[in-house]
Structure formats: C-alpha cells, structure tokens
Amino acid sequence: MELDSKSPTGPIETRWDRHRFNLKLVNPANKRKHTILVVGTGLAGGAAAATLAELGYHVKSFCFQDSPRRAHSIAAQGGINAAKNYHNDGDSIYRLFYDTVKGGDFRARESNVYRLAQISVNIIDQCVAQGVPFAREYSGYLDNRSFGGAQVSRTFYARGQTGQQLLLGAYQALERQIGAGTVQMFPRTEMLDLIVIDGRARGIVTRDLITGRIESHTGDAVVLGTGGYGNVYYLSTNAKGSNATAIWRAHKRGALFANPCFTQIHPTCIPVSGEYQSKLTLMSESLRNDGRVWVPLQKGDKRPPNQIPEAERDYYLERRYPSFGNLVPRDVASRNAKFVCDEGRGVGETGLAVYLDFRDAIQRLGKNLIKERYGNLFDMYERITGEDPYSVPMRIYPAIHYVMGGLWVDYNLMSTIPGMYAVGEANFSDHGANRLGASALMQGLADGYFVLPNTIGDYLASNKLEKIGTDHPAVKEAEANVTCITKKLLEIKGTRSVDSYHRELGKIMWEYCGMSRTAEGLKTALGKIPALREQFWRDVKVLGNGEELNQSLEKAGRVADFFELAELMCLDALERNESCGGHFREEFQTPEGEAARDDERYSYVAAWGFRGVGNPPELNKEPLNFEYVHPSQRSYK
C-alpha cells in the first residue's frame, strides 16, 4: 500500500500554519449536523471530545470506566514538557524539536515533531486558563524541572500528580459540554468493533458493561483515543484496565498498525516482588532530578546500602554519561540498569534492582524541600515496600511503561481507514523509537486540543456522508461479530483463568521481546505465542454470563486481542534488524553497548496490514526523511 503521510514540505517553522490554511473548513452552522464518535476520555480523547463539541459538532463520548475522569491518564505523575523557556536556560521550540527527534533515535517524522514542539506552548496556556494548578515558584511564575534527554528545565508539573490535574481540566471542559447537551456521554461502555461502510469508518459497536447490551452508534467520523497496550506484558505500570481492543479491532477492519515493537521500558519502577503481583508501580522520572543511581562496585556485595562507603559505590550513569548523568533518556538508563544487574551487581533480594539515592540531595536541600517536591511519591514507595526512602535508598528496576507503536496515522491524525482518527498513545505517535519523559501528556493534549479539531473538518467538508441507519447490513454484520466473540468465550468453559493465560503471555513477551531482543529469542516467542493462543481458545474459563457485569468476560476479550498483537510485535521486532531507542537487538550494538541503528535499511515506519489470525501480515514502509536534524549516533556522554 502506498502510504501518504501528508507531511507538508517547505520551511519547517511554517508547515503547520500553511497546512492548516489549506485545510477545508466546516461552516459553523453545519458543524452541528455532524456526529463524531470519540472513544476514550483520557487526556487525548477527553480533550478532543470537549474541543470538538465547543466547536459545535455533535459528539458521542465513550469510556469503559464509570467516569471519564478515571481514564489511565490520571496516573501520570511527573509532568508535561513545553518550550516556554521560563528559566531562560537556552530552551526554544527548535531545541524541544531537536531533543525529541534525537531522543526518538531518528525514527519519527520531523514535521510532526516540530508541530508538537510549537503547540507545546499553547497547551500550558490552555491548561492554566482552565485552572490546572501547576507548581509555581515564589515569584508566581510556573515552575519547571528537568526530565531525561534534555539539558534544560522545561517540564511543568503539579507535584507528582500532573496527569490527574490535567485530566481534571479536560474533564471539566468535557462536563461543560455534557451539560450543554453537545456531548452525549457513555461511561461503562466498551467499543468492541468498528463499522466500516464503503471503505469509510461510520460507527462502532459497543457493549454496555453493566447490562451486557450490544449496541451500535453511527456517525460521520470515529476518533480512537483509547490509550496504549503495555499491558500485553501483563506486568506494567499501566492501569489494569488499559488494553488494545479498540485499536486492534480497528486494525482487523483495515487500519495499519505502525511500529508495534517500539515499547518503552521505564528505568525507575518498584521491582517485581513475587509471582502473584498484578501490577508494577512507577517512581516518576522527576526523581532523577535529585536522586542518584548507583550499585556496589563489587559483585555480590550484600551489605546494606548505608554501610557501603562512597569509594565502593558505582554511580554508573554519572560515570558513563557525564553530560547527562542521571538524566539520560529512559532507554539508556534502563539498559544500563540491566547491564549492571546482569554483571551480578544488582541489589535487593533478587539482585534485580539498583539504588536511587536521595542522601546527597537531602543533605544539600533539606528533607522538607525534598518532601515538597516528591512527598506523595515517597509515601507511595514506603507504603508498597515498607522502607523509608528518606533514610534508605529506593530500590528500582526497569518495567514496561509506554508504547510508541500504535495505529498508523498521517499528519492529519487519520488512520488508513478514511474517517477514522487516532489520538494520544493509541497512535504510533511522534516519539519514534523512544519517548522522552513528559512528552506523552504533551502529545495527547496537542492531538486532542489543537491538531484533531483543525484537521477533522477537512475530511467532513470534503466528503458527502450519507446518514447510516443502525439497520445497515454492515452494522448488523459488526454486531453479529461482537455477539459471536462474546458467546464463544463464554462457551469454552475450560480449566484455566483468563489471568493465568495473560500472565504466561506476559512472561513470554518480557523474556523474548522485552528490554533486549535477539532473532533466536523472537523466533522462540513466535513459536510459543500461537500455541498458547490456541490453548486459550480451547481451555479458558470465563465465569458468569454475558447479560451482567462480568469482568472475567471483559478481560477475556482483551487478552484474546493481546495474543494476536503480541505475535505482531515479535514479528516487527524480528523484521527490524537494527537497534534503535527502546528496541534493542543484542546482535546490533556499538562496542560500548549502545543501540546501533541501520539508517540505510531501516529508516522507515513499519506499518503492518492484517491478513487474518495466524497469517503473515503485510509490511508497508513509510520512509523517513531528515532535513533538519541529521541522523547521528545518539550521544549523552
């Protein structure tokens, strides 16, 4: 398939403005005649639904939680980037653009990233106007801190709960529209299929999670802001409910899936403690502003941290990367943690942890200031581990956190199915092979508040879209498909729980398609996953029935989709014979153990087409061109 990214050309500073000017507009009086279905109420979907309704469109908004404000975005801790240069420390739109293209290891589109950096400054203004309580300095200016991969302070934050505060802003904007009658809200409603008519997205099929009722909603365009799929690994920092079903089922209806193997492993999470753990907890990257990462110099040194003298500690990030120190990007920090643990220098009972130590910061700044900056994170750490991080260093280890892969979208955020858009973590995003910290919130809000509301009008104004009744054969076919999957899952009545299959799949993925990958390991995974998937469909035990609140059934559908997605992720990782960002193939590394890209052969977005479960998918390539930031070996030394 020929992929047209619709990326504008010409001077990068004016691309978005010129592009917007060339887009068709919908007359204000005509906007209310269009119905837009927005699935997801996180920062991306919530911002999109509120803004589209404010513009005058009729919006239907869906989420599976009981309230839109429980979307996973609420968990975001550390902050949101913007090139405001309030600190006068050399930041600019160009620098944010540069850092993001480089941070993503040259696997993102320059036009998109530049637009993201431009819009970043509008996001902060918009959120402040909504009343989001960003942290302020004594003078009253908004405060900033630093995140990985940047040498400036450009991260705006609200203690360790930035996502929650930003989501409350978007939620209030959404509620205002619900009150005005422009948004119809459907909580506890899960999208289970996409309705495609004459090649265009015209609706969705949903299941009411309380009553089990299967229903269809039709409209002129569909927007998926359904978040990321990190939970394919079972253990991740994502909310337990985060899943891939909406984007995966859209993929099965024809939307290409881009760079599925690009996953982000966050270096600072509370380590796994046992077999029956169901979730991992993030300790925000902001902690690396003041915390120092180290392990003992000697292998197998089991002394308590406070008894290890300074000369016998290895602050390995500061040693290896003196320019960026503890604030190297996540992929680099994670890999280094794995290296030192593989050398036998890991700490804690399992040896799969490194220290994040605040001793020096507390001595320098005082306990109160550290408490003010990170108090809620320290409390969370203490509640989970029983250790006081003010007096004993935190133990941390990398964990699955975010996915850079997702539905392929063009510059207008439209997928390969006309009329279907993807925003936020659900699309393959602007982050290339590695996302810099505090950029997901920026991207989700840029997509939802600023990009989509401009671009969607062009599609609506350019196409004649007849009304679609819910008795249309394509609607009936999609409904029958959903009913059939639900029935099939309930009828298996096997012996093993959904969770046990999910956990086993997660282990395969972590082992063979996790922090480091090899061709041999990926081939092993590609043997194991289909076998486990087949066993799941023969033997899974889903309790209850389909006409009630049934979380076992909900999970079963999501895990069934994870099985298919996991296979695609491994294929994508196997096909990409290079290392870039979070995709680290052991066969492709520099003599210093850094990711070795192969720009000649792999400077493209891999966009996969579905050809049936178990059949080899179709690989399409969107070549990437770099006119401004020339690909080089990333260095943070």
438 binds ligand FAD (CB under 6 A): yes
Indicate the angle between helix axes 452-462 and 43-55, nearest 10 degrees.
Answer: 60
Strand bridging mode 35-39 / 221-224: parallel
* In the complex, minimum distance from the CB of residue 225 to ligand FAD, in angstroms, rounded to a whole number: 5
Pick out residues in 109-168 that bind ligand FAD (CB under 6 A): 162-163
75 part of the interface to ligand FAD, by CB under 6 A: yes
* 434 contributes a contact to ligand FAD by CB under 6 A: no
Question: Does 330 qualify as catalytic in the annotation?
Answer: yes
- Which is closer to ligand FAD, CB of 191 or CB of 221? 191
The rounded distance, in Å, linking the Cα atoms of 575 and 573 is: 5
Number of residues that bind ligand FAD (CB under 6 A): 45
From 26-34, 72-80, 109-117, 405-413, span contacting ligand FAD (CB under 6 A): 72-80
CB 82 within 8 A of CB 75: no
> Looking at 100-108, 252-260, 350-358, 435-443, which segment touches ligand FAD (CB under 6 A)?
435-443
Task: Show the binding pattern over residues 245-274: x = contacts ligand FAD (CB under 6 A), - = does not.
Answer: xx----------------------------
Question: What does DSSP assign to residue 451?
Answer: I
> Given the DSSP bridges, would you call strands 313-314 and 354-357 parallel, antiparallel or unpaired?
unpaired
62 binds ligand FAD (CB under 6 A): yes
DSSP of 206-218: EEETTT--EEEEE
CA distance 414 to 152: 33
| 282 lines the binding site for ligand FAD (CB under 6 A) | yes
User: Which of residues 43 and 629 has its CB atom nearest to ligand FAD in the complex?
Assistant: 43
61 touches ligand FAD (CB under 6 A): no
Alpha-helical (H) ranges within 264-352 are 316-320, 330-342
Q: Which of 402, 421, 449, 450 binds ligand FAD (CB under 6 A)?
A: 402
How many Cα neighbours within 13 Å face the side chain of 497?
Answer: 5
> One of 207, 249, 330, 585 is an active-site residue; which one?
330
Task: Identify the residue among 144, 161, 231, 237 touching ligand FAD (CB under 6 A).
Answer: 237
Closest CA to 567 of 500, 503, 616, 622: 616
Q: Which of 78, 148, 260, 419 binds ligand FAD (CB under 6 A)?
A: 78
CB of 122 to ligand FAD, least distance (A): 16
- Spatial contact of 330 and 267, defined as CB atoms under 8 Å apart: yes
45 forms part of the interface with ligand FAD (CB under 6 A): yes
Enter the tokens of residue 371: 């408490």
Q: Rounded CA gap, 425 and 201, in Å?
A: 20
Should residue 231 be labelled a site residue for ligand FAD when binding is judged by CB under 6 A?
Answer: no
CA–CA–CA angle 110, 622, 231 (5° rounding)? 85
Q: Does 191 bind ligand FAD (CB under 6 A)?
A: yes
Contact 23, 457 (CB under 8 A): yes
Contact range with ligand FAD by CB under 6 A, out of 64-72, 130-138, 212-220, 295-303: 64-72
Q: What percent of the chain is helix, strand and coil (3-state, nearest 5)? A: 40, 15, 40
CB 39 to ligand FAD: min, Å? 5
Q: Is 76 in the site for ligand FAD (CB under 6 A)?
A: yes
Site stretch for ligand FAD (CB under 6 A), options 358-366, 387-395, 433-441, 624-632? 433-441
User: Smallest gap, in angstroms, from Cβ of residue 511 to ligand FAD?
Assistant: 22
- Strands 214-218 and 263-269, how do they pair? unpaired
100 binds ligand FAD (CB under 6 A): no
- At position 81, the amino acid (one-letter code) is N
Can you give the three-state secondary structure of 554-566, one letter per residue?
Answer: HHHHHHHHHHHHH
What is the residue whose two structure tokens read 């950096």? Answer: 117
What are the contacts of 19-25 at 24+ separation with CB within 8 A?
19/411, 20/454, 23/412, 23/454, 23/455, 23/457, 23/458, 24/457, 24/458, 24/461, 24/462, 25/457, 25/461
Smallest gap from Cβ 377 to ligand FAD, in A, equals 11
- 429 part of the interface to ligand FAD, by CB under 6 A: no
| Residue 425 sits in the site that holds ligand FAD (CB under 6 A) | yes
Q: Which stretch binds ligand FAD (CB under 6 A): 128-136, 437-445, 452-460, 594-602?
A: 437-445
Q: Which stretch binds ligand FAD (CB under 6 A): 39-47, 380-388, 524-532, 584-592?
A: 39-47
Footprint of ligand FAD on this chain (CB under 6 A)? 39-45, 62-65, 71-73, 75-80, 162-163, 190-191, 225-228, 237-238, 242-243, 245-246, 282, 401-402, 424-426, 438-441, 444
Q: Enumerate the active-site residues.
A: 330
